[in-house]
Chain A
Amino acid sequence: MAGDLLERRLVVVTGKGGVGKSTVAAALAVAAARRGKRVVVAEVGRRADVAATLVPGGDDRPGVAHEDDVERFDERPLAGPWGDGLWHVSVSPEAALREYLRDQLPIGPLAELLRSSRMFTALTAATPGLRELLALGKVWELAQAERRTPGAAPYDLCVMDAPASGHAATMLGAPAQFAATARVGPVARQGLRIADTITDPASTAVVVTATAEELPVGEALELRDALRAEAGVDVALGVGNGLLADRFDAADRAVLDGAGEDPAVRAARHHAARAHDQQRQLARLRRELGAPVSTLPFLPVAQVGPAQVVALADRLERAIGRRAAA
């Protein structure tokens, strides 16, 4: 693994739905912010789970569709014990399209007219890969040392809370594919530049998250192949999420199996069986992913909040630090 994950410009977090991608993205961003970096978390897909996690009681709720502002991007600071270097933005393809048109078309009113055209909207929706490319283009813009957005301060790191597996591979592959289809034109040119950033391991790292269960681990391994095939990208880090404490060894389990039906013994057997299954899936992930794998514990809380994310950031930072030093 090439160097320190948090020293790149773009970290993309993906994995199967429901495995805690947003929590991992939040923890990585917090770890970077505590190093004094200026970090932005970019969420795509009408969600704001990172914001809901880091600022409980704010406008966003976990799992609830985020009403994106289609006119412009709202880069908001997320204050917390990590200092004032953490920002959040929700990236919708619609806003990305409008921003792109404003940038590309010399005449403002023309862009206005165009984007209000139903025909134009239908055509952009119909063009395969264009929505993905536009959203990813915005994420790329956020990761640039010199930003295209007038007056916008640059970030040291952009953490992207990406869509689930298959869609993420398509999205990361969209720039290269579009560039190949279009060959010439502004989008083709920009597609090539974005593809260069994404396939450069010094600039971009992809983190694949999986809970230690059969389907999510299987999907993580398929995703590794899809990322290589569709986007030319290798996975930099795997995260095994939601791990139960592995506190019962084989001898313990044998004793528990013969220890009767006391509710606490049954709960312990249940825990031991699940933890054992998890360890086998984690071993499979470590064996087959072709990238280092860090683990995060299962959190038995009603709502993951800033305190939990900070604790997870500690763990990830230690793991990343060890690997960078190794």
Chain B
Amino acid sequence: MSAPAPLVAASLLDRLAGAQVVVCAGPGGVGKTTTAAALALALAGRGRRVAVVTIDPARRLADALGVGTLGNDPVPVAPGTLAALGVAPPGELWAMMLDPKLTFDGLVAELAPDPQRREAVLANPIYRQISTAAGGSHEFTAVARLHDLDRDPRFDVVVLDTPPSRNALDFLDAPDRIAGFLEGRAVQALLGQGRTGIAARVARRGTNLALGGLRRLTGVEVLEQLATFLAVLGPLTDGFAARAAAVRALLRAPTTRFVVVTGPGPVPAGEAIFFRRHLQAVGMPFTALVVNRVTVLDPASGDGDGGAVGARLAPALGAPLAAKVGRTWDDHRRLAARDAEAVARLSAATGDPTPVVVPMLDHEVFDLPALAAIRDALLAPRS
């Protein structure tokens, strides 16, 4: 893949001007959810009506935002809470925690032509399995929900946190994969020309190569279950296809932004670079790079090493504690040097000349003051 085209140096908010959809994507374990919430807070602070869709947020953060229960519709963060965070009308912040199963069920209800067929799909054991998060539906439902909220007149902009995947690419691929299946290749394969006696035909048509092969592989019961599932799903396939096409278009729309979130460690950094290139390859926009949990050297620091620090602080702290502070200072400087190098490498490889660097805080982010601190770091002027 060719090197990505560099972005123009600009503040994060400038790059998000005109955005209707902001997708926070990147490897697992780097604080994507927190970044999404803080970014939403920043946009609300600029007078926009923002909905943030979080995936599996820390319980305490969800409680702090007032969205402590799973629900599939955004709930407004209380005006008093927002005011304390510097958000005033017309700015609004709504938050929700994605429930993949509820989202999937809602989609089926919307697309089913009648209540009978809706119930048939919802009760099917194979449907129940694929509609759980583990079945890969997290990614599909996240973008399906994004599509609904994007058209919701209550919101100016929707910020989407993305599911934790082994590979960040899964987020981009999974909607197509599930949609491709739901929109009918498999359905047509099983239903063929007619729509009657599917299970019987499955059992009879040993000569059909694909069916025969799958039966050989899985046993006839699985095949029959699958046939039943695809038969009940049949009437919904056009709707799924249309929805999948709309979602694909939305992810490439000029009003959509992708913020790649990562950390300074070697594995997340490598994954972020790879992901950014893949965005380019599939024609999706890249807006900004956010590097979380970076150890930053205080500009006021002298260049003394741990030994010098220990000697300087010994009179005040006592020699044993001063020596420990000295050792910690050496660790700190080493880590800050590593992180500075990682940020520079990420900047060059992703083509973002001014990546957002969020310093490592003293504690994990679970309350609103900490979230506001992350927001302030996202908005800090960059050089």
A binds B: yes
Contact of A125 (CB < 8 Å), options: B30, B133, B167, B181: B181
B28 at the interface (CB under 8 A from A): yes
Tell me the bound Cα distance from A184 to B224 in angstroms: 13
A22→B267 contact, CB < 8 A: yes
Residues B214 and A124 in contact, CB atoms below 8 Å apart: yes
Q: Specify which of B27, B129, B209, B325 lies most central, judged by the most chain A CB atoms within 10 Å of its CB.
A: B325
Decide if B213 touches A114 in the complex (CB within 8 Å): yes
Cβ contact within 8 Å between A128 and B217: no
* Cα-based distance from A105 to B189 in the complex (angstroms): 21
Neighbouring B residues of A324 by C-beta, 8 Å: none
A270 to B135 CA separation, bound complex (whole angstroms): 41
A18 within 8 A of B: yes
Chain B, residue nearest A213 (CB):
B364
Please tell me which one of the listed residues A101, A182, A216 contacts residue B221 in the complex, with CB atoms under 8 A apart: A182
A62 and B267: CB pair below 8 A?
yes
Question: Which listed residue, A127, A215, A252, A274, touches B222 by the CB 8 Å rule?
Answer: A127
Q: Are B324 and A248 in contact (CB under 8 A)?
A: yes
**Contact A63/B271 with A47-B167, A304-B266 known, Cβ cut-off 8 Å:** yes
Are B28's CB and A126's CB within 8 A?
no
Chain A nearest CB from B235 CB (Å) reads: 17
B213 and A267 contact, CB distance less than 8 A: no
Chain A contacts for B366, CB-based, 8 A: 214
B213/A101 in contact, CB under 8 A: yes
User: Do A114 and B210 contact each other (CB < 8 Å), given the known contacts A126-B230, A216-B29, A268-B328?
Assistant: yes
B residues 301-353 with Cβ under 8 Å of A? 301-302, 309, 313, 316-318, 321, 324-329, 331-332, 334-335, 338, 341-342
Q: Flag B159-192 by CB within 8 Å of A: 1 or 0 each.
A: 0000011110100000001001100011001100
Q: Is A301 an interface residue (CB 8 A)?
A: yes
Cβ–Cβ < 8 Å partners of B216 in chain A = 104-105, 185-186
The answer to whether A252 and B298 have CB atoms under 8 Å apart is: no
Is the CB–CB distance between A63 and B217 below 8 Å?
Answer: no
Given that A63-B272, A170-B134, A255-B317 are known contacts, is A123 also in contact with B186, CB under 8 Å in the complex?
A: yes
Using CB atoms, name the residue of chain B closest to A179. B219
Question: Cβ of A303 < 8 Å from any Cβ of B?
Answer: yes
Question: For residue A162, which residue of chain B has the nearest CB?
Answer: B166
Check if B221 sits within 8 Å of A181, measured CB to CB. Answer: yes
Report the minimum CB–CB distance from A268 to chain B (whole Å). 4
B321 touches A183 (CB 8 A): no
Residues 229-276 of B at the A interface (beta carbon under 8 Å): 230, 263, 266-274
Cβ-neighbour of B166 out of A47, A187, A273, A301 (below 8 A): A47
Find B268's partner among A18, A128, A129, A266 (CB 8 Å cutoff): A18
Cα-based distance from A187 to B221 in the complex (angstroms): 12
**Residues in A58-96 with C-beta less than 8 Å from chain B:** 61-65
- Evaluate contact between B210 and A214: CB separation under 8 angstroms: no
Are the C-beta atoms of B300 and A263 separated by less than 8 Å?
Answer: yes
Distance in Å from the Cβ of B92 to the closest Cβ of chain A?
A: 27
Q: Which residues of A contact B334 (CB under 8 A)?
A: 300
- Cα(A170)–Cα(B133), bound, Å: 10
- Determine if B284 is an interface residue (Cβ-Cβ < 8 Å): no
Q: Does B193 contact A (CB under 8 A)?
A: no
Inter-chain contact B167/A46, CB cutoff 8 Å: yes
Contacting pair B29 A16 (CB below 8 A): yes
| Closest Cβ neighbor of B135 among chain A residues | A128
Question: A72–B350 Cα gap in the complex (Å)?
Answer: 33
Does any Cβ of A come within 8 Å of B195's Cβ?
no
Q: How far is the CB of A214 from chain B (nearest CB, A)?
A: 6
For A18, give its contact among B30, B59, B181 (CB under 8 Å): B30
Partner among A52, A126, A188 whose Cβ is within 8 Å of the Cβ of B219: A188
- Decide: B325 and A129 in contact? CB cutoff 8 A: no
**0/1 string, B199-227, CB within 8 A of A gives 1:** 00000000001110111111111100110
CB distance from B305 to the nearest CB of A (A): 10
Chain A residues lying within 8 Å of B332, measured Cβ to Cβ, are: 264, 267, 271
- Contact present for A277 and B327 (CB under 8 Å): no
Query: Residues of A contacting B213 with CB < 8 Å?
Result: 101, 105, 110, 114, 117, 120
The answer on a CB contact under 8 Å between A268 and B226 is no
Q: Are B58 and A215 in contact (CB under 8 A)?
A: yes
Q: Is B126 an interface residue (CB 8 A)?
A: yes
> Cβ of A229 < 8 Å from any Cβ of B?
no
Whether the pair A117, B316 counts as a contact (CB closer than 8 A) is no
Q: Are A265 and B313 in contact (CB under 8 A)?
A: yes
Query: Taking the complex as formed, is A238 at the interface, i.e. its CB lies under 8 A from any CB of chain B?
Result: no
Whether A167 contacts B271 in the complex (CB less than 8 A), given A63-B27, A120-B214, A182-B222, comes out as no
Q: Is the CB of B126 within 8 A of A265?
A: no
Q: How far is the CA of A167 from the CA of B309 in the complex (A)?
A: 48
Q: A18-B30, A164-B164 are in contact. Are A302 and B364 (CB under 8 A)?
A: no
> Please, what's the 1-or-0 string for A98-134, where 1 marks a CB less than 8 Å from any CB in chain B?
0011001100001001100111101111111110000
Decide if B28 touches A114 in the complex (CB within 8 Å).
Answer: no
B362 within 8 Å of A (CB atoms): yes
Which of A61, A187, A256 lies in contact with B217, CB distance below 8 A?
Answer: A187
Residues of chain B with a CB closer than 8 A to A175's CB: none
Residues of B within 8 A of A130 (CB): 217-218
Residue ranges of A at the interface with B (Cβ–Cβ < 8 Å): 16-19, 22, 44-47, 49, 52, 61-65, 100-101, 104-105, 110, 113-114, 117-120, 122-130, 163-164, 166-167, 169-170, 178, 181-188, 211, 213-216, 218, 245, 247-248, 252, 255-256, 259, 262-271, 273-274, 277, 300-304
Extra A-B contacts (16), CB below 8 Å, given A49-B267, A125-B186: A18-B30, A18-B268, A44-B166, A104-B216, A110-B209, A123-B214, A130-B217, A169-B134, A184-B219, A187-B222, A214-B60, A255-B317, A263-B300, A270-B362, A273-B362, A301-B338
- Jot down 27 A-B pairs with beta carbons below 8 A, ordered by A: A17-B27, A17-B166, A18-B30, A18-B263, A18-B267, A44-B166, A49-B267, A52-B270, A63-B27, A100-B217, A101-B213, A105-B213, A123-B214, A124-B214, A127-B226, A166-B133, A170-B134, A182-B218, A184-B219, A185-B215, A185-B221, A185-B222, A256-B317, A263-B297, A264-B332, A270-B360, A277-B364
Interface residues of B (CB under 8 A from A): 27-30, 58-60, 125-126, 129-130, 133-135, 164-167, 169, 177, 180-181, 185-186, 189-190, 209-211, 213-222, 225-226, 230, 263, 266-274, 297-298, 300-302, 309, 313, 316-318, 321, 324-329, 331-332, 334-335, 338, 341-342, 360, 362-364, 366
